[in-house]
Amino acid sequence: MANDQPTPFSVPAACPVPFSNHSTVQMAHGGGGRMAQRLLDQLILPAFANSALGESHDGAVLDLGGQRLALTTDGHVVRPRFFPGGDIGCLAVHGTVNDLLVCGARPMALSASLILEEGFELAELQRIIESMSEAARGAGVEIVTGDTKVVEHGCGDGVFICTTGVGAVLPGVDVRPRNVEPGDVVLLSGEMGAHGVAVLAARENLGLESTIVSDTAALTDLVLPILERCGRQIHVLRDPTRGGVAATLNEIARTAGVEIALQEQTLPVSETVRGACELLGLDPLYVANEGKVVAIVHPDAAETVLSHWRAHPLGVSASQIGVVKAGQAGLVTLLSPIGGTRVVDLLSGEQLPRIC
């Protein structure tokens, strides 16, 4: 009698690596990993190619009649809108202010565009607007212009916020990724992963025993003083948001044409975040942060930067996490405590969607 049941060999095996040759937009295109990079490289950057965009930084530095200004823009789609330690409103302000700061600029003003869904509660919108206002005051900037649009019920997700910021680049400061050199050291201002884990825990109602709070904050007091003290010894600054520290360092290594070697034992991660990541199968290196800064600096400036950071509440866990090598261009590696080395590559798919 013929057996109509499929044999194990007739069932296609599932590939553990996400398929990336899509004809439509996928969630992973917004995740800061390999698919996001491919979208930029193949579709967006060629269409808008110019020298400012080609610097691959968190904003553009423009020379306007001898005055260098930084310009950046960001969209915020975090879910849930309120999470331990913050909300979509303060996140929108902090994210844009921080992008200006890591361009070497003193933030001057922001704009805000609100895309609202029909039926969204005005009381919740008021909470978000008040949070934005408070965050702007805390960062020393004003929201000076904006726009509001409403879409039909079911065509949005309550509220999306787009913010743009402008700032004045400090004299003598140049923190483009291309300035990174072999021999530089890699510094991180504090513990990784709190924001991404806090948002995920709130979204999925995980009920973690220890509440993990987002690190969302304006980095003004961490960034401006070290730029004023160390000047051009600060070679690049970045805030490791989507894709975490791993994605940020991969992008820098690729742009600068260098290798970055990290040491696992020096990576700052709180025990609560580490435990949550182990439970959820996440790597803290890839989890988003919203109140941390990565600095790649000349070795002579490292102690000055770390001393300033550690004296501030936002930087008490600051650490030197790696060095820059001539090595293989675009490569990021991690040395384990027992002497093994692994490649820290961009993720192929999406680890944590909708976290900023």
- Diameter of the chain measured on Cα atoms: 86
Q: What is the pLDDT of residue 349?
A: 64
Retrieve residue 182's tokens.
Answer: 């072999």
Angle between helix 194-204 and 271-280 (nearest 10): 50
Report all structural domains of the chain as residue ranges with CATH numbers, in order of start: 58-169 (3.30.1330.10), 177-343 (3.90.650.10)
Instruction: Give the Cα separation of 139 and 222 in Å (integer).
Output: 12
Instruction: Give the Cα separation of 340 and 332 in Å (integer).
Output: 14
Instruction: Give the Cα separation of 92 and 160 in Å (integer).
Output: 10
Type of residue numbered 107: P
User: What's the distance, Cα to Cα, between the start and end of the chain in Å?
Assistant: 59
Type of residue numbered 21: N
Q: Pairing mode, if any, of strands 82-83 and 86-87?
A: antiparallel
Torsion from C-alpha of 47, 49, 54, 59, nearest 10 degrees: -70
Please list the pLDDT of the chain residue by residue as tens digits (356 residues).
Answer: 444 443 333 333 333 444 457 888 887 777 677 777 788 778 877 888 888 887 778 889 999 988 999 999 999 999 999 999 999 999 999 999 999 999 999 999 999 999 999 999 999 999 999 999 999 999 999 999 999 999 999 999 999 999 999 999 999 999 999 999 999 999 999 999 999 999 999 998 877 656 899 999 999 999 999 999 999 999 999 999 999 999 999 999 999 999 999 999 999 999 999 999 998 899 999 999 999 999 999 999 999 999 999 999 999 999 999 999 999 999 999 999 999 999 999 876 667 788 88
- Please give the DSSP secondary-structure letter assigned to residue 29: G
Model pTM score:
0.90
Q: What is the pLDDT of residue 10?
A: 33
Retrieve residue 190's tokens.
Answer: 């504090």
Q: Is 336 within 8 Å of 278 (Cβ atoms)? A: no
Report helix, strand or coil for 61: strand
Q: Is 103 within 8 Å of 170 (Cβ atoms)? A: no
